[in-house]
Chains A and B, each alone.
Chain A
Amino acid sequence: MDISLTINSEDRRISIQAGETLLEVLRRLGYAGVKHGCEDGSCGVCTVLLDGQVVHSCILLAVQVEGHDITTIEGIGTYDHPHPLQTAFVEAGAVQCGYCTPAMILVAKALLDENPHPDEAEVRETLSGVLCRCTGYLKPVEAVLRVAQGGD
């Protein structure tokens, strides 16, 4: 079946199968920043923004988001023009293996879009939705707080 949707501000018409998840379709289309993890909505590495709200793309059928607006990590910054959160993650040393980093940045972006100055507890609650086995969360929390506090 064919569906229309918007991916990173680009209107797309794509062919999908009924049983394909949004995660599988995005990766097939080349959005490799969306990671494939647990497939049951536990680990959070497949997080994307659906109409600006965080969702796990592994537990959504692609057809469910027909007509909606999807944002992946590829849509919020580039190598030459990184998003402030991406810069902060690099500067704080908040990236280790990097597998969960796109998801961490997306959940942080959704938080800051809704609440530009969260406190540390709100940042921790938000990042807890993404499982990270390397960083211990300390530096990712620090990176998000840097952006939230407007410093550098």
Chain B
Amino acid sequence: MWSSLVEYQRPQRLDHALRLLERQKPRSVPLAGGAWLVAQRDQSIEAVVDLSALNLTFIKTSARRLRLGAMTTLQTMAQDSVIQNLAGGLLRDASNRYAPRSVRNVATIGGTIVVGNPTSEVCLALLVLDALVIIRKPTEYVVPLDAFFVNPTMHLPSSGLITEIEIPRPSASVGATIAEVSRTPNDQPIVNAAALVSRVGHICRTARLALGGIASHPIRLPDIEAAISLHKIDESVLTQAADAISSSINPPSDARTSSEYRRKMAGIVVARALRQAWEQTERE
């Protein structure tokens, strides 16, 4: 029982939803799939505005980009044929790692971004895909996902809504992968990383890296990306990158593991993801 909840609304128009969310009394929040929100039973929340009737469940494709409605479920993403072919199936794989199926069936891409779990594979994949978050508040506002994560409440006021995620199509020849460590294969990751690279000849043209499990949200690694770009990726470059990451972070300890282990493994999982992504481009 979510005992503080006294009101439920399921508006059919976005402007109506935004007006409902502006209210201070009863304190109102958006409800996407509910996989996270309902589980919290947050006693300060008095009303929910269900987004399921706003037609935000879609995957639209064009030559240059994909647009995913914020209410698209992770299971839909895991099964979609366009997403399957995007960056070697990176986002499909990331969606599938969010287990089990019973949660993928309700969890949405918009909700996943708002929660911003530190080890969310979907967020890691979206970060290296350079995803943009489309927000209505009520005017349309676009922010890159990495900037969104740095200050979510600034970009998304309580009366605003994420309506879409836009993904620029990477070139067909990129390599992209996720690497992670966890206590058991089914447990949540301790640290994880996503890498997306493209190459010209023997040189890495672009590298995009994201790291999870070391901060309150997944992060991009722009300094490491810049250091790698326009180099050949070999073992010495990978070792340097891993050392640079491990020496630049100060992750928390928790019940799963220590800060020291996270620091060491963060560099290693990034190097693993990068090596695997690079090897994929060699097979092209």
A residues sitting closer than 8 Å to B (CB atoms) are 1, 17-21, 24, 39-41, 44, 47, 50, 53-56, 58-61, 63-64, 107, 110, 125-126, 128-130
Contact = CB atoms under 8 A, between A and B. Distances in A.
A54 B102 contact: yes
B101 A54 contact: yes
Given A21-B2, A59-B34, A41 B101 contact: no
Interface in B84-123: 99-103, 105-106
Interface of B: 1-8, 31, 34-35, 38-39, 41, 48, 50, 52, 75, 99-103, 105-106, 186
A107 B102 contact: yes
A135 to B, nearest CB: 16
B48 A54 contact: no
A39 B3 CA distance: 14
Q: Is the interface of B mostly helix, strand, loop or mixed?
A: loop
Given A59-B39, A60-B34, A64-B52, A19 B101 contact: no
Given A19-B4, A60-B34, A126 B101 contact: yes
User: Which 5 A/B pairs are nearest by Cβ-Cβ distance?
Assistant: A129-B100, A19-B5, A19-B2, A40-B39, A54-B102
Given A19-B5, A21-B2, A128-B186, A60 B102 contact: no
Nearest to A47: B102
Contacts of B31: 61, 64
Contacts of B5: 18-19, 61
B7 A128 contact: no
B193 to A, nearest CB: 23
A59 B106 contact: yes
A40 B75 CA distance: 19
Given A18-B8, A129-B100, A60 B106 contact: yes
Given A17-B1, A61-B48, A126-B100, 7 more contacts: A18-B7, A44-B102, A54-B102, A59-B34, A59-B103, A129-B102, A130-B100
Given A19-B3, A63-B8, A64-B50, A39 B99 contact: no
A122 to B, nearest CB: 11
Contacts of B35: 41, 56, 59
Nearest to B47: A18
Contact of A54 (B3, B4, B105): B105
6 contacts: A19-B5, A44-B102, A47-B102, A54-B105, A59-B39, A129-B103
B112 to A, nearest CB: 14
A112 B50 CA distance: 31
Nearest to A57: B102
Given A24-B1, A61-B48, A129 B101 contact: yes
Contact of A60 (B1, B38, B186): B38
A56 B105 CA distance: 9
Nearest to A50: B105
A125 B106 CA distance: 18
Contact of A56 (B1, B8, B102): B102
Nearest to B103: A41
Contacts of A18: 2, 5-8, 48
A11 to B, nearest CB: 20
Contacts of B34: 59-61, 64
Nearest to B5: A19
Contacts of A53: 75, 105
Contacts of B105: 50, 53-55
A56 B31 CA distance: 16
Contacts of B100: 44, 54, 107, 126, 128-130
Contacts of B99: 125, 128-129
A56 B103 contact: yes
B103 A61 contact: no
A107 B38 CA distance: 22
